[in-house]
Amino acid sequence: MEAWIQFLQFLVNALSLGGLYALMALGLALVYSILRLVNFAYGELVMVGGYTLLVVGQAANIPWLIVAALAIFVAVVTSLLLERVAFRPVRHASPNTMLITSFAVSTLLQNAALLFVSPRTRAVRIPSFFIENIRVGGLLISKSNIVTLVVSLAMLGLLTVFLRRTILGSALRAAADDFVMTRLLGIRANVVIATAFAISGCLAGVVSLFWIGRSGSVIPQIGLTPVLIAFVASVIGGMGSLAGAVVGGYMLGFVTIALNTLLPQDLLEFRQAFVFALVILVLLFRPQGLISGAYSAERI
Amino acid sequence: MLVLEDVHVRYGAIAALRGVSLHVEQGEIVGLIGVNGAGKSTTLMTIAGVLQPSKGRILFGGQSILGRPPEDILRKGIALVPEGRRIFPGLTVAENLRLGASIRSDRSEIQRDLEEMCERFPVLADRLGQAAGTLSGGEQQQLAIARGLMSRPALLMLDEPSLGLAPQLVEEIFELVAQLHEAGVTVLLVEQNVDRTLEIADRAYLLNTGEVEFEGAARELRERVDFVSAYLGGPG
């Protein structure tokens, strides 16, 4: 009985953290699958969402759901703006140029936050469900974990429907296979890329709600961990594969929670080291990631 | 219908096309032949807007299409079925076909065309829900051509459609091109199967190291004595 409850507790925590990691990874992998760009400014989209929560949240009497919607909206707009202003001009340059551009954008946005907001940690107003727990039988579950779990599954579901059931969704998947060929079918490159950036921004916005909800505060470097997790998860899953990013995200979440539960107290602070040791092990045996973009190698 | 005037294309320091001029008239099948590296695929990729010429003019329906991106060229009515088929392996057969019609908004007409493709290519009809990557080479080629037709192009450009196919499939592909021609589609055909191409083509161009070496009626080209030597003896 006791073990059963512990297992259920573990499952909820792992699915919640894994879902959040999967959303992070998906936002990064989506842009990568089409542009072959690892957008390191992705973390700053989470940051922008966080500062929207801070600034709008300070204004009294705005319901949190509206504040949250605004944060997602600002992240989407920022992502689209970055595509238009920073990445489109270097789209035809080498992948290295795009990568460096993303570092530059990331640094620029972080410094803007340092300069115009504050270098210090700022407390963000968060709704009560982030702190409350519910008790089911002997089970103590935080409400935020349940919300994170449900929202991440819903986002994955929505995205799947979009990618599978709409022409624009098929165009995105096709562009990941062979970008030139999609253009030869008349599908506009700008539309496909802008859509990828918009979805990436939306995912970053949703991530920002839960990521900032966990700590209750925001600092200019808040995006660093999410982008790192997203990168690691998509590498484990297989860079360029969307399904891989989701699998990698959930796996990372499960491993992290498992280590949290299993590691003795005095080793807990080395949790990240254990996680990355496992990542190295995975990559030793499957350097192409768990789910490789099966067909990408065939490209001419 | 389509006119190329003195088109030059460079890949860095290498001149891939050195002043190619050719034209395709409404309702024709025009063959483009030559050894590997002669510039056949480069010519098609340039017309389709994937490659930009360093010099020259390209007109379609009397209008310049020079410098337009591939998306625009398709909308003008030129579809390219590129070398290597380039179907989307992770997408289903039906999704591949529907993407071919993505510039159109007439849903019922698209559905009708989809059904017509299924009639014309029965192997596709049975596999609409299957991932395109699971099709055989010949089936993938049929899918690539069907996908190209879904935009209802005025001019269909085919790049090596018979490459890598078994002999009876090669025959099927040539019959298909002849059928499309009868249905009123104008075709610009790049092929390494010279004999069959010259049989079904109205006119043909022989490319050699980025230049048009000979042009004329397909019959004429077949009868020319020095043709064989030019075709076989030209530098790669």
Whether the predicted pLDDT of B180 surpasses 60: yes
Domain that holds residue B33: 2-233
pLDDT of B20-45, one tens digit each? 999 999 999 999 998 888 999 999 99
Q: What does the angle CA B102 – CA B103 – CA B104 come to, to the nearest 5 degrees?
A: 90
pLDDT at A293: 55
pLDDT at B226: 55
Chain B partners of A177 at a C-beta cutoff of 8 Å? 88-91
CA distances from A298 to B15, B84, B85, B206 (A): 27, 10, 12, 30
SS3 assignment, position B38:
coil
Chain A residue at shortest CA distance from B100: A185
Q: Do A187 and B69 touch (CB under 8 A)?
A: no
How would residue B236 be classed by pLDDT, with cut points 50, 70 and 90?
Answer: very low
Chain A partners of B83 at a C-beta cutoff of 8 Å? 300
Q: Report yes or no: B57 and B4 within 8 Å, Cβ to Cβ.
A: yes
Residue (of B44, B157, B93) closest to A174 by Cα position: B93
Kindly state the helix (H) or strand (E) to which residue B21 belongs, with its residue range: strand B14-24
pLDDT at B142: 92
d(CA A204, CA A202): 5
Whether the predicted pLDDT of A1 surpasses 70: no
pLDDT at B221: 80
Whether the predicted pLDDT of B235 surpasses 60: no
pLDDT at B230: 59
Test the B interface: residue of A185, A188, A292, A296 with most B CBs within 10 Å: A185
pLDDT at A118: 86
User: What is the mean predicted confidence (pLDDT) over B76-105?
Assistant: 94
pLDDT at A27: 96
Test the A interface: residue of B86, B140, B151, B157 with most A CBs within 10 Å: B86
Predicted TM-score (pTM) of this structure: 0.90
Mean pLDDT (chain A) is: 90
CATH number of residue B160's parent domain: 3.40.50.300
Whether the predicted pLDDT of A288 surpasses 60: yes
Q: What does the angle CA A227 – CA A36 – CA A222 come to, to the nearest 5 degrees?
A: 10
Tokens coding A295 = 């067909």
pLDDT of B138-173, one tens digit each? 899 999 999 999 999 999 999 999 888 888 889 988
DSSP assignment, residue B201?
A: -
Kindly state the helix (H) or strand (E) to which residue B216 belongs, with its residue range: strand B211-217
Choose among A170, A178, A294: nearest Cβ to B86: A178
pLDDT at B52: 94
Q: Where are the domains of chain A?
A: 2-294
Residue (of A257, A282, A233, A293) closest to A22 by Cα position: A233
Chain B partners of A173 at a C-beta cutoff of 8 Å? 88, 90-91
How would residue A295 be classed by pLDDT, with cut points 50, 70 and 90?
Answer: very low
Q: What count of CB pairs under 8 Å joins A to B?
A: 71
Whether the predicted pLDDT of A297 surpasses 50: no
ipTM of the complex: 0.91
Q: Assess B71–A contact: CB distance below 8 Å, yes or no.
A: yes
Total tally of structural domains belonging to chain B: 1
pLDDT of A220-263, one tens digit each? 999 999 999 999 999 999 888 899 999 999 999 999 999 988 88
What burial class does residue A276 get, using C-beta atoms within 10 Å of its C-beta: 0-12 exposed, 13-18 middle, 19+ buried?
Answer: exposed
Q: Assess B27–A contact: CB distance below 8 Å, yes or no.
A: no
CATH architecture under which domain A2-294 falls: Orthogonal Bundle (1.10)
Q: Assess B86–A contact: CB distance below 8 Å, yes or no.
A: yes
